[in-house]
Structure 1
Amino acid sequence: MVPGAAYSIPLHHDSETHAVRNQVAPAVGFNAFADDVVLRGAIERHAPWATDKATALGALVGNADVQDAARLANDVVPVLRTHDRNGHRLDWVEYHPAWHQLMALAFGHEVHSLAWTAPHPSAHFARAVQSYLWNQVENGIACPTGMAYAACAGFAGRPEFALWREKTLSTAYDARRLPIVQKTGAVIGYAMTEKQGGSDLRETQTTGEYAGTDGDATLYRLTGHKWFFSVPVADGFFTLARTTTGVSCFFVPRLLPDGTNNAFAIQRLKDKCGNRSNASSEIEFRNTMALLVGDEGRGIREILSHAHLTRLDFAVGSAGLMRHALTLAVHHATSRTGFGRPMSQLPMQENVLADLALESEAATLSALRVARATDDMAGNPTERLLARLMTPVVKFWNCQRASAFVYEALQVHGGNGFIMEHPVARLYREAPLNSIWEGTSNMMCMDVLRVLSREPDSAEVFMHEVHRGGTTGRDHSRFLDTLRIDLSSASVHEGHARALTTRMALALQASELLQFSPDTVSHRFVESRIGGQHAGVIGTLRPGRDLSTIVERSAVTSH
């Protein structure tokens, strides 16, 4: 061919180079409650009255339109509008319509409110199931639902917040920028963290100056800066500021009663690794009107009373996120072939899937056990101690495990899982966040040490709890005996806190599985996690024919 001459080979632009085959269709058409034997069994045991609610929400997880809304809400991120075109301050955030669609669904299904409105026992447990299911829809929405859940505890018994509590409990989501009296429902936020303090709320520098009273409300004016504030378009939010007597808790309405803006400015939105649908911001208080919550100078104690509920929600939410990652992984592996058979039947892949299923079931049951204890905190001293101790244990462990779990679920998908448009990639970016929100892993372990120190009976109560399922043999008994000795010692070195909390989490998970799961599941868990036959890497179970049964137990069915 002469250099520079045109190619003489005819080009057929309409011809196909290959047939698309052996690609996995999206996981749709299933019900995340009805098809989940673990969750369904838990509801049947503890809150059968909530079955219809869970079934209705479970259907949304497998709904293709809802899944697409979750994708859109994360792809088209919120935008900050500081001013209008004429130069007036707006301090508003615009979301994709999919965000508002999802918010309406979550609030309509009582993800935020069921614990406070249900005229039945086990209401916190039933609400935890709803949150678990919602975390399989879209995790960014789980932030405002969780904050509303906790806020209702802060409003309870305080006449000045009666209207706020009523609106927060509403199932009618209302995105309009209006005074609270004109809203059909309220969205509530929390703005605690400052850049110099992080998790150390004692370092709060924002100041509050007494401004008089208005009926039952004690008013202050706040000045300062907050480093993280999610959902900055919330109708009102809890925050901390330093007064003459110490750090105090306040509630800041977004708009004043006359409809004018309260005096605070959104400085910027955070460009987060995950949780992209949910706007997180920095804000500045500028002589901002706020209502005192509780006693002045006791703000940290006040806000930590809410934190029990948000920490429970993150333990539950991480379990739900793991369950969704498992659903995607099993669906992919059973639908795609490799080396002449379904991937789920390849021995190494089957081991990975079975191990993920064990991890997911243990995370689910342990989180729901904390929710059951929360239901009985007021009237049962034993359950109060358990709730106080188990909440940081399970929050630490479930959130800690979620990232490693989703990493393995992503690997099941190969390169397809690392593509941004795939839902498992969104879970991969999302998973680390729950370990940070409402107290890092280290903060949770410190909280465990504080409970053991301040509540001397808590160690024995916990040990009684983890023996409920019995033991499976010598290794399990020795594990619990050693744990009892360590818990009963006068003090635990702070540097040992993570190791101790990890062992406590595994002991609780084993007990729950032995009580409520088939022997195939519970004995495999104990053998691998407690008996020393697990290398700390997913997919290192002892090979056996029962692994396929464990995988099949975790699968969902498209209808």
Structure 2
Amino acid sequence: MPPTHEVLNQPEPLDDYDAGADPALLSALEREEAGWADAEVRELGVLAGTARARAWGEQANTAEPVLRTHDRYGHRVDEVDFHPAWHVLMDTAVSRGLHAAPWADERPGAHVARAAKFYLWSQVENGHACPVSMTYAAVPALRHAPELAARLEPLLTARSYDFGLRPPESKTGILAGMSMTEKQGGSDVRANTTRAVAADSGGYRLTGHKWFTSAPMGDVFLTLAQAPEGLTCFLVPRVLEDGTRNALLIQRLKDKLGNRSNASAELEYDGAFARPVGEPGRGVRTIIEMVNGTRLDCVIGSAAGMRAGLVQAVHHASQRRAFGRALIDQPLMRNVLADLALESEAATALMMRLAGAADRAVRGDEAEAAFRRIAVAVGKFWVTKRLAAHAAEALECLGGNGYVEESGMPRLFRESPLNSIWEGSGNVAALDVLRALARHPEGAEAFVAELRRAEGADAAYDGALKELLALLHDTEDAEFRARRLVESMALLLQASLLIRHAPAPVADAFTASRLGGDWGRVFGGLPRATETGAIIERARPRPA
């Protein structure tokens, strides 16, 4: 290389590090009854930090899925072709139990262990997490049809990635999707116009157009349609028992801002055969079981994005020099990095607490089920929204290097708004919290009880808790003020977890900045007394 092109002062690529060496994640794994999974979580973390895993993510997003509506002879096939890297990502996720496997595992903490692994593997590539998440979330909804569940649940929970269009019960493992929204309604699914007409063998025929069908290459889909009794949930297979294709016609794949590796489609039901799931006319109540699971994964995926961006920013700042010093040694950069680390650690603590609540709710803990009902919507609103700002600031820490595709940061940035939109935008999530508070007072009590566990340890926290309790009792113009209320609930829940479980520098800085008013409007506004070194050190990537 000519001397004019000598490469100086450029960080080494962040390859072959241990993504599982995450203090906030590992301590929560033990705390939430899943310490038994430490070894398998750490093993996946090492894989997630490798150069080859990063390459899989890049390849799956560069060579995007392609829709083939017809074969060379004109037969309708409706197939989606993926780059081989997509299948490697999916096979890794399924074989490691990131999909529905916890539903077949009776050990306490099974859902927590799955959340930890989902968090680590989503840092590699977030698009493939969509079908993985929906397969996980489909099981509790499908259990409203016990006969169907008995046949399909063993295939949904199997650790076998068996891609291809064949009858579900002829495969070693299957994936589930969701097909709810329509162009005239969006989140208002009661405006759906897809019709269901009774057919032979206890089934129905569905006719209508779905505006967003996630992961159309799945084996079965939960969907909503208007039956004679009202909006009802149905299970629709891609391939019928006799091997013929069901009448699911993929019209086109969506051209999305991010999430490019994952196929999202417009789907036409042209008399598609379906089986009812749950009580006729109670479709929303049935499918909400699935929505609760995917909303939890929205929180986990957003926490994963924060951790991925933070690690890149800290790594870059550790090796890049400017104005005679490493970036990480410069006071203002330390303020920014520590602030990003606080946001990431708070998101990680919250998503693991929600996973623990989900796990205990499955095992019959009514108090945890009540807490989860509200806390998941709170986390969905707040953590998913924080990712976009976090990703932008992490990208900026890399400067111009972060703005080029090879860094991976543009892909993270484009991905960052997704989870705040999927499964209900911010307004939908905030209003869901209001409805849950009004309809489920036991949930409100459980939520407040969780916050009170940290009472008396921090003056800023105690003052903010007092203000929140007043807000909870003020119902005037509640919808207009919903976002402010839910933001306060989220910050206090995160602060409660950090006060009880994080090192003092982390908890003190979080409460002083987020609750004490000593914070700017952008990242990097932490107060003078912040122990930035101790906070940043917890985010520093470790060699594998």
TM-score normalised by the chain length of structure 2: 0.97
* Selected match of 2:378 from 378, 393, 416: 393
Query: Is residue 27–residue 558 contact of structure 1 (8 Å, CA) maintained in 2?
Result: no
Q: Which amino acid aligns with 2:30?
A: E
Partner of 2:234: 250
Deviation at 1:547, TM superposition (A): 0.6
Q: Secondary structure at the match of 1:165?
A: helix
Query: Is residue 25–residue 352 contact of structure 2 (8 Å, CA) maintained in 1?
Result: no
Partner of 1:225: 209
How far apart are the structure 2 equivalents of 1:426 and 1:223? 37
Query: Is residue 192–residue 228 contact of structure 1 (8 Å, CA) maintained in 2?
Result: yes
* Selected match of 1:454 from 425, 432, 439: 439
How far apart are the structure 1 equivalents of 2:521 and 2:34? 35
Query: Is residue 472–residue 523 contact of structure 1 (8 Å, CA) maintained in 2?
Result: no
Query: Is residue 248–residue 268 contact of structure 2 (8 Å, CA) maintained in 1?
Result: yes
How far apart are the structure 2 equivalents of 1:456 and 1:492? 19
Deviation at 1:166, TM superposition (A): 1.1
RMSD: 1.4
Partner of 2:194: 206
Partner of 1:436: 421
Partner of 1:176: 164
Deviation at 1:545, TM superposition (A): 6.7
* Selected match of 2:179 from 173, 191, 195: 191
Q: Deviations over 1:270-309 (max 9, x none)?
A: 1111000001110101011011111111111111122111
1:504 aligns with 2:492: no
**370-379 or 317-326, which deviates more:** 370-379
Q: Secondary structure at the match of 2:182?
A: coil
Flag the 1:207–1:535 CA change in 2: closer, same or farther, 3 A: same
1:84 aligns with 2:71: yes
Deviation at 1:201, TM superposition (A): 0.5
Partner of 1:37: 23
* Selected match of 1:265 from 243, 249, 253: 249
Deviation at 1:155, TM superposition (A): 2.5
Query: Is residue 106–residue 145 contact of structure 1 (8 Å, CA) maintained in 2?
Result: yes
Query: Is residue 179–residue 255 contact of structure 1 (8 Å, CA) maintained in 2?
Result: yes
How far apart are the structure 2 equivalents of 1:362 and 1:473? 16
Q: Which amino acid aligns with 2:344?
A: S
Query: Is residue 170–residue 184 contact of structure 1 (8 Å, CA) maintained in 2?
Result: yes
Partner of 2:500: 515
How far apart are the structure 1 equivalents of 2:308 and 2:153? 32
* Selected match of 2:513 from 528, 531, 534: 528
Partner of 1:8: none
Q: Deviations over 1:392-449 (max 9, x none)?
A: 0001110010000000000001111111222111110001000011111111100000
Query: Is residue 34–residue 112 contact of structure 2 (8 Å, CA) maintained in 1?
Result: yes
Map 1:110-509 to 2 at 5 A. 110-156=97-143, 158-213=146-201, 218-378=202-362, 379-490=364-475, 493-509=478-494
How far apart are the structure 1 equivalents of 2:465 and 2:409? 36
Query: Is residue 459–residue 488 contact of structure 1 (8 Å, CA) maintained in 2?
Result: no
How far apart are the structure 2 equivalents of 1:374 and 1:451? 17
**497-506 or 483-492, which deviates more:** 483-492
How far apart are the structure 2 equivalents of 1:434 and 1:15? 46
Q: Secondary structure at the match of 2:210?
A: strand
Q: Deviations over 1:507-557 (max 9, x none)?
A: 000000011101111011000000000123100012347212211121111
Query: Is residue 155–residue 162 contact of structure 1 (8 Å, CA) maintained in 2?
Result: no
1:48 aligns with 2:7: no
Q: Which amino acid aligns with 1:134?
A: W
1:59 aligns with 2:29: no
1:548 aligns with 2:505: no
Map 1:97-112 to 2 at 5 A. 97-112=84-99
How far apart are the structure 2 equivalents of 1:428 and 1:535? 22
Partner of 1:6: none
Deviation at 1:207, TM superposition (A): 0.3
Query: Is residue 134–residue 290 contact of structure 2 (8 Å, CA) maintained in 1?
Result: no
How far apart are the structure 1 equivalents of 2:184 and 2:470? 39
Partner of 1:27: 14
Q: Secondary structure at the match of 1:421?
A: helix
Q: Deviations over 1:466-490 (max 9, x none)?
A: 1212344443222111111221345
How far apart are the structure 2 equivalents of 1:318 and 1:471? 30
Q: Secondary structure at the match of 2:416?
A: helix
Query: Is residue 509–residue 530 contact of structure 2 (8 Å, CA) maintained in 1?
Result: no
Deviation at 1:18, TM superposition (A): 2.3
Query: Is residue 177–residue 215 contact of structure 2 (8 Å, CA) maintained in 1?
Result: yes
Flag the 1:370–1:199 CA change in 2: closer, same or farther, 3 A: same
Query: Is residue 351–residue 543 contact of structure 1 (8 Å, CA) maintained in 2?
Result: no
**508-517 or 463-472, which deviates more:** 463-472
Q: Which amino acid aligns with 1:536?
A: R
**197-206 or 454-463, which deviates more:** 454-463
Structure 2: which 5+ runs fail to align? none
Deviation at 1:25, TM superposition (A): 2.2
Query: Is residue 77–residue 96 contact of structure 1 (8 Å, CA) maintained in 2?
Result: yes
Query: Is residue 470–residue 514 contact of structure 1 (8 Å, CA) maintained in 2?
Result: no
**371-380 or 518-527, which deviates more:** 371-380
Structure 1: which 5+ runs fail to align? 1-13
Deviation at 1:103, TM superposition (A): 0.5
Q: Deviations over 1:191-250 (max 9, x none)?
A: 10100000001001000000032xxxx300000000011211111111111011111101
How far apart are the structure 2 equivalents of 1:115 and 1:446? 30
How far apart are the structure 2 equivalents of 1:103 and 1:475? 45
**163-172 or 186-195, which deviates more:** 163-172
Q: Percent identity?
A: 45
Q: Deviations over 1:348-377 (max 9, x none)?
A: 111000001111111111111111111222
How far apart are the structure 2 equivalents of 1:92 and 1:505? 42
**513-522 or 546-555, which deviates more:** 546-555
Q: Deviations over 1:13-70 (max 9, x none)?
A: x84522012112221111211x111111112222111112211211121111111010
How far apart are the structure 2 equivalents of 1:380 and 1:486? 28
Q: Deviations over 1:79-121 (max 9, x none)?
A: 1101111111011111111111111011111111342132310
How far apart are the structure 1 equivalents of 2:272 and 2:438? 39
Q: Which amino acid aligns with 1:165?
A: E
How far apart are the structure 2 equivalents of 1:127 and 1:18? 47
In our comparison, the structure showing a higher alpha carbon Rg is 1
Deviation at 1:461, TM superposition (A): 2.5
**374-383 or 547-556, which deviates more:** 374-383
Deviation at 1:465, TM superposition (A): 0.8
